[in-house]
Structure 1
Amino acid sequence: MTPEELRAETPGFEETIYLNTGASGPSPRRVVEAATDFLAHQEYDAPREEGMYAAADRAYAEAREAVAGLLGSPEESIALTQSTTDGINRIASAIDWEPGDVVVRTDLEHSAGILPWQRLADLHDLEVRVLETRSGRIDPDAYAEAVSDARLVCFSALTWTHGTRLPVRELVEIAHDAGARVLVDAVQMPGQTAMDVTEWGADAVAAAGHKWLLGPWGAGFLQVSEEFLAELEPRSVGYRSVAEPDADTYEFHPGARRLEIGTTNPAPYVGLREAIGTMDSIGYDAIESRIADLTDRLKQGLGEERLLSPREYESGLVTFAVDEPEATVERLENEGVRVRSLPTGAVRASVHAVNTAADIDALLEAL
């Protein structure tokens, strides 16, 4: 498959200059059809064939396998969630917090990496330490000082505010040397770049498929290391969490599945698996090359004075300054161009491989 072919079967790109996949990406027909076809099978055919729970269990298992391939991680390390926020909360709630524990996050985090720690601070004697950054970058010395006595560190692999790629492996090593665990929000990466989370060495990675993968809402995932998993004590439990659901006493599943709970709609996970396969069929070399070319075109058109993201390619997220961000986004929307404003007082365009040079030129002309 080519990016042009994928665009042609994605209705969300037909009548709109859609440059907001960093928030949510419209799904192609094949993804929606995979999900809806499965739903029809489960509700119409499975009751008289393999059974509805058996059909759902197969969908969950196939989704975990696809996510493991996407992340370059063992299947046993994968848990299915509903979103990145859901995944971060499942980790946060499974840690046995003690008075005085320190959580470090950066000032670049999305609400998914902010609200769970604020809530924990309200419930426990917990310190949430916010590391200040500059232009989407972390100063290694300031970071090392901030995490020196931390229990957990949470940061984004690719910043949603600037589109910068953080040196995940280096940051993980610094935190581990200090005795801290590391939870990485990687939601901006799947679908726009190849991944191998085992190279990062993080204790947990949370993401979802509704952005650059162009998957459906409701299909998130967690990757958790074996060592960290052994320390976690899930507060919630259901038949998908345990090794033998019908036993008199329960024992958590040996893999990351212990962080799953009970009955959830399997259709989004079928769509997620299809979305992962679709991006694989294009190839991440082709995807990244196209995104790099398109973002270069946009950055050249914007000019250095407005550009807040790095001039050199790091991702498809391009943030730039305007006088009135919210009014600008509304005006662009009225002209058929979809971008978004940021809490930092800027505007962000998300450039995917399914976009075209004409999309970029339309944005620049509208600006």
Structure 2
Amino acid sequence: MAAPIGLRSRRKPTIGKPFLTPISTCLLRQKLSMSVIIRSTLAEISSGLSGARKHPAGGLLSNSIQHKAHVMSRMTVEQLRQDLPMTGEVGYFQTGTYGPASDSVLQAVRETMETEARHGPATPAGRQSHTEREAAARSGLARMLNVEEEELGIETNTSRAMQQIVRGLDWQEGDEFVMTSLEHVSTYGLSYSLEQQHGVKTIVLGEVYDEHLLGDLASVLTERTRLICLSHIASPNGRLLPCKQAAAIAHEAGVPVMLDLAQSVGQMPVDLKELDCDFAVGSGHKWLLGPMGTGYMYISQDQIPGFHPNFIPDRSPWSLPDAPTPAPTARSRTEIGTYNHALVVGLGRAVEIMESIGLDKMQERITQLSGRLRQGVGHIDRARIITPQEPGKSAGITSLMFDGFTKTDLDGLVDRMHERHQTVVKSQWLTAPPDPVKVAMRISVAAFNDESEVDRLLEGLDEEL
């Protein structure tokens, strides 16, 4: 059976602190947020308002003056921490599940919705409000990932984005879907669906240490292998997988690769051209600290022509008879209908903040705090780190196992850490389907955490164990 165009073609890999009361904390956050707004607004005013025009309802309205008033000047990690409301309440180590949205992100979402409501979403003012900001959000995300805007589509989360891509391929009975044993549970669910609906065979690579993974991957690829799915960083234990090397092996066999970026983008620089993947999916609400309900997908330029989701035509029914069919893009082939403009704008603000601080700075801070955590865990009886500790093998996720603990025991420990020590961590299955003895505490150390929170976490574990 001949494979569809664009899916099996061979191609060369691209080488390519003082104590603060709740009141003082709130005032400090307001001061920081206002300083950003004031600096940006003054810059706008000093550049001249010759391009401004009068809004019909009254008042000056320049092209994106409101947006520019909130563009981030250079931020620091400490300023990011002060922009997160929950940092005054708990030590939050659950960013790998749900990252907290900052006041700045919430403000961007709120302003967009309020402007649409005030002026009407279909009026020129309403359209301008979200169109300019949304365009900036899409270009910012593309810049962060080092891809073209035409290669990106927006979705609501990683799982839905993955469903979009996988179900846009022409699966036949006997085709093969390759994944690792460390993939997210939703990926397992998708593989079961492929088996039941299309008779696709799922091949799970159990050995995920680099030398074994790459060797096993090369050995399982056949003429029926249609897609390989790898997590850039594994959700259960934080292992950083050798995705670039895996892509080179896959492309030598003419097999496309899809990367799950949910646990990497936002805590380290990610260059998709360097990783040389064909497809990628990710979340806005985890390490990017964007609003809930945001995700994205990447489809490389050479894969777009052969990617045919069954619910979106290339030619709109509203097109004039003689109008040319536009060149397909990831957006045109994955996005359909009305969506929440404000959430896309909020995602753009989150990306803007990350770029303002610098993802290299974020990674540096995460590495520092994770090292402090792992060193401290080494002195706690019954606790064992299962996350790789060699440099370059992991990032902000540290997973712990405890001798003799069942899932019920671990759930109780997680609850006590919150109730007694104001520390939020996660009880995590290590496999799907669940294995009763393979459970761990997953600790997601983000750049906005601080040393006192890490120390409180360690003290809490030592006390509870």
The answer, yes or no, to whether TM exceeds 0.5 is: yes
Aligned match of 2:397: 317
How many residue pairs get matched? 364
Spell out, residue by residue over 1:276-324, the C-alpha distance to the aligned partner (whole angstroms, 9 max, x if none): 1111111122211111111011000111861111223520001111223
Aligned match of 1:89: 163
One-letter identity of the residue aligned with 2:443: A
Find the partner of 1:331 among 416, 426, 448. 416
Find the partner of 1:359 among 433, 450, 453. 453
Structure 1 pair 47–161 and aligned structure 2 pair: CA distance change class (3 A):
closer
- Deviation for aligned residue 1:137: 7.8
Q: Is contact 2:155-2:335 (8 Å) kept?
A: yes
Structure 1 length normalisation: TM-score? 0.93
Q: Is contact 1:46-1:55 (8 Å) kept?
A: no
Aligned match of 1:158: 233
One-letter identity of the residue aligned with 2:92: Y
- Deviation for aligned residue 1:200: 1.1
Alignment of 1:85-124 (within 5 A): 85-124=159-198
Alignment of 1:273-312 (within 5 A): 273-303=348-378, 306-312=384-390
- Deviation for aligned residue 1:145: 1.4
Q: Is contact 1:319-1:348 (8 Å) kept?
A: yes
Q: Is contact 1:21-1:350 (8 Å) kept?
A: yes
User: Which whole-Å CA distance do the structure 2 matches of 1:184 and 1:202 have between them?
Assistant: 7
Aligned match of 1:218: 293
User: Which whole-Å CA distance do the structure 2 matches of 1:100 and 1:57 have between them?
Assistant: 45
- Deviation for aligned residue 1:129: 1.2
Spell out, residue by residue over 1:157-212, the C-alpha distance to the aligned partner (whole angstroms, 9 max, x if none): 11111211111111011111122111110111111101110111111010011011
User: Which whole-Å CA distance do the structure 2 matches of 1:52 and 1:21 have between them?
Assistant: 33
Structure 1 pair 98–351 and aligned structure 2 pair: CA distance change class (3 A):
same
Q: Is contact 2:137-2:348 (8 Å) kept?
A: yes
User: Which whole-Å CA distance do the structure 2 matches of 1:49 and 1:83 have between them?
Assistant: 29
User: Which whole-Å CA distance do the structure 2 matches of 1:219 and 1:343 have between them?
Assistant: 25
Q: Is contact 1:137-1:166 (8 Å) kept?
A: no
- Deviation for aligned residue 1:245: 5.9
Find the partner of 1:167 among 242, 248, 261. 242
Spell out, residue by residue over 1:130-166, the C-alpha distance to the aligned partner (whole angstroms, 9 max, x if none): 1112569852111111233411111101111121111
One-letter identity of the residue aligned with 1:332: M
Structure 2 length normalisation: TM-score? 0.74
Q: Is contact 1:84-1:221 (8 Å) kept?
A: yes
One-letter identity of the residue aligned with 1:22: G
Q: Is contact 1:103-1:128 (8 Å) kept?
A: yes
Q: Is contact 2:240-2:395 (8 Å) kept?
A: yes
Alignment of 1:1-367 (within 5 A): 1-47=75-121, 49-50=123-124, 56-134=130-208, 139-149=213-223, 150-237=225-312, 242=314, 246-247=318-319, 251=325, 254-257=328-331, 258-303=333-378, 306-313=384-391, 314-322=394-402, 323=405, 324-335=409-420, 336-344=422-430, 345-367=439-461
One-letter identity of the residue aligned with 2:412: A
User: Which whole-Å CA distance do the structure 1 matches of 2:254 and 2:122 have between them?
Assistant: 53
- Deviation for aligned residue 1:64: 1.7
User: Which whole-Å CA distance do the structure 1 matches of 2:148 and 2:99 have between them?
Assistant: 27
- Deviation for aligned residue 1:53: 5.6
Q: Is contact 1:87-1:220 (8 Å) kept?
A: yes
Q: Is contact 1:189-1:212 (8 Å) kept?
A: yes
- Deviation for aligned residue 1:43: 2.0
Q: Is contact 1:136-1:164 (8 Å) kept?
A: no
- Deviation for aligned residue 1:253: 5.3
Question: Between the two proteins, what is the percent identity of the paired residues?
Answer: 32
Q: RMSD in angstroms over aligned alpha carbons? A: 2.1
Q: Is contact 1:107-1:132 (8 Å) kept?
A: yes
Structure 1 pair 211–48 and aligned structure 2 pair: CA distance change class (3 A):
closer
The higher radius of gyration belongs to 2
User: Which whole-Å CA distance do the structure 2 matches of 1:8 and 1:136 have between them?
Assistant: 39
- Deviation for aligned residue 1:50: 1.0
User: Which whole-Å CA distance do the structure 1 matches of 2:121 and 2:231 have between them?
Assistant: 42
Paired residue secondary structure (2:161) = helix
- Deviation for aligned residue 1:55: 5.0
Paired residue secondary structure (2:302) = helix
Paired residue secondary structure (1:271) = helix
Spell out, residue by residue over 1:317-336, the C-alpha distance to the aligned partner (whole angstroms, 9 max, x if none): 01111223212111112121
- Deviation for aligned residue 1:213: 1.0
One-letter identity of the residue aligned with 1:164: R
- Deviation for aligned residue 1:51: 6.3
Q: Which moved more, 1:50-59 or 1:118-127?
A: 50-59
Structure 1 pair 291–48 and aligned structure 2 pair: CA distance change class (3 A):
closer
Paired residue secondary structure (2:303) = helix
